[in-house]
Amino acid sequence: MGGYSEYASIIDPWFTGNDFCRIGYDYVGYSKKQKMIDREFQNQKWYAKCLNPPAGTGFFTTDRTMTEYSTQIWKVKPVPMPKIPAENKVFKFGPSHNV
């Protein structure tokens, strides 16, 4: 990351009355919240806060709901999905990979 001078032409308009889209209006609050998130992310309990609620929905999933609607209400049969080779199931993220 560069210093302020590298980003001044982008940042300055937010705070000099030219922020017509109100991008910088809540920047201070956003910045504070982002710092809190950064701290929480370092804490392993953060993962539980984020992952346990969706994992706990169990029975209440869209996949189950759509399966029930399609078979019980619409009376249609599922279409088999083609098999995907294992090497195509690996996702790689980062600057050297196109995702």
| 55 falls within a domain | yes
Which range marks the domain in which residue 34 is found?
Answer: 4-77
What lies within 8 Å, CB to CB, of 11 at 6+ separation is 4, 24
| 97 falls within a domain | no
| 99 falls within a domain | no
Write out pLDDT tens, residues 26-50.
888 888 999 998 888 787 777 778 7
- The count of domains in the chain is 1
| 17 falls within a domain | yes
Flag whether the pTM goes above 0.75.
no
| 96 falls within a domain | no
pLDDT of residue 57: 76
| 87 falls within a domain | no
Q: What is the CA radius of gyration of the chain?
A: 23
- DSSP code per residue over 40-89: HHHSTHHHHHHHHHHHTTTT--HHHHHHHIIIIIS--PPPPPPP--GGGS
| 85 falls within a domain | no
